[in-house]
Structure formats: structure tokens, C-alpha cells
Amino acid sequence: MAEILKCNHLKKQYGSFTALKGINLELPEGKIVGLLGPNGSGKTTLIKLASGLLLPTAGEILINGQVPGVESKKIVAYLPERNYLDLSRKISKQIDFMGDFYKDFRKERAYEMLEHLDIDPSRPLKELSKGNREKVQLILVMSRDAKLYLLDEPIGGVDPAARDYILSTIIDNHPEDSTVLISTHLIADVEPVLDEFIFIREGEIVQHSAVDEVKSKGQTVDGLFREVFRC
């Protein structure tokens, strides 16, 4: 199976602080993968490196065999942890902007999801609740036919009912051969949708396994996480 993301001795420092300590990682195509760890473990740094927003201090990261840049951004859809949209702009204008910027953006898919949520696309984002703003951001990301989706804490700031919708949106709207990397510390919520998981702690990968492997031992990923990261 082809790799969509590969890290070779990837290291990232911020001044004297080392956020990633020379990690090695390979992610295949067609999987939903959880990037799981406590706050400050390096999850966001890894996702920003994969999206091309940061440069490595040492080692390399490759997206579909390429160093992150203009070409990789054509196949990577990135959802940051914080809101990045213009709150004064109408949702329909956000959709137009995405359609102009990305050739793989599917406007009809975005409008279908908005209709399902009963969100009026003629409204500006500032009139929506925080949870609905996060849903709109996710809709914009998942309306692309990308090869790699990088989702940084997509369910962190919404209520449990909204989490269910967000996770079903991720499952139902990504192409079968694409890979979804979900960063979160809410393990139990995302576990049902994952094929694989990565445990990361203090900039080092502790474990990278298939979810089925854990289930075959009568465990859950959430339970294993609590054991591995017990204070």
C-alpha cells in the first residue's frame, strides 16, 4: 500500500524547546488515523509540518513523496485548531472563495451538508454559534476531494451531539483512497471511526498500531491510552 505521509528522523525545535524529537512515521493511503496524546505532546506541530506551515529543524517529512509546498497543498486539506475564517463574510462567499482557490472543491457537497444542518448559507459566520462555526469550517475542508485530510482537534470545542455529526461527516465525505489524520485528546469519541492510532508524548511516538490489533486483545484504544499516559 502506498504511503501518503512519511517522516524520517523528523525534528522540530522552537528555540531551546524540542517539540518533535526525530520521529519516524509512515501513513498508508485509505486510512482514518488518530493522532492521540495529551496537550503539548507535539500533535499540532506535526500537523503544521505536514500542511507546510512549518519547516523541520532536522530530518524530513514527505507528502505523497514530496516535500510540503505548493504541489502538496493541492492534495492536502487542513483544518486548524482555531477559527481561520472571516467572521463578517457570508458562508456562501466562503464557499465561492474555496471553489476559486481549490480545483478539487465540491460546492454542491458543501451546500448539501449545510442544508442537512439547517444552516443558512446567506448568513455571515459571526451570527452562528461557536459549534456551528466549527461545523462550517469542517464542511469547507471535507468538501474537497483531497488525498490527505489533516484535522487538528475537530471535536474539541463542540457538544457531544455535534461530535457525532462531525465524525459522521468525516466518514461519509472523504474519498475511499484518501487518508484522514485526526488530532485529538478525546479518545473515546473518535475511537469508533479509527483504523489506526498513533500515541505521541513529549515529541516522541510511543505506539503506532491498528485499532483491530488492540480490539483482538480485548482492549480499547481509550483504555490503552489511559494505561500508557497514566500520571
> Phi then psi for 162, rounded to 5 degrees?
-65, -35
Mean per-residue pLDDT for 74-80? 94
Q: Is the C-alpha dihedral spanning 99, 104, 106, 110 positive or negative?
A: negative
How confident is the model at residue 175, as a pLDDT? 85
Residue 130: count other Cβ atoms within 10 Å of its Cβ. Answer: 12
Q: How confident is the model at residue 108 (pLDDT cuts 50, 70, 90)?
A: very high
* CA-to-CA dists, residue 73 to 32, 147, 211, angstroms: 19, 10, 29
For the chain, what percent of residues have pLDDT higher than 90?
73
How confident is the model at residue 170, as a pLDDT? 82
What the chain holds in terms of domains, given with CATH numbers, is 3-84+146-228 (3.40.50.300)
How confident is the model at residue 163, as a pLDDT? 79
Only one residue has cell 519516524, namely 24
Please list the alpha-helical segments (H only) found in 102-206.
Answer: 107-116, 130-142, 160-173, 187-190
How confident is the model at residue 173, as a pLDDT? 78
Whole-model pTM above 0.85?
yes
Answer yes or no: is pLDDT of 12 > 80.
Answer: yes
* CA-to-CA dists, residue 156 to 86, 127, 222, angstroms: 21, 21, 16
* CA-to-CA dists, residue 38 to 44, 186, 203, 221, angstroms: 11, 9, 11, 14
Q: Model confidence over 22-51: pLDDT tens digits?
A: 999 999 999 999 999 988 899 999 999 999
At 154, which helix (H) or strand (E)? none
Q: Model confidence over 120-170: pLDDT tens digits?
A: 999 999 999 888 888 899 899 999 999 999 999 887 767 777 778 778 888
Q: Model confidence over 176-231: pLDDT tens digits?
A: 899 999 998 888 889 999 999 999 999 999 999 999 999 999 999 999 999 998 86
Quick check: helix, strand or coil at residue 168?
helix
Euclidean distance between the first and final Cα of the chain, in Å?
A: 37
Mean per-residue pLDDT for 100-123? 93
How confident is the model at residue 13, as a pLDDT? 97
How confident is the model at residue 231, as a pLDDT? 67
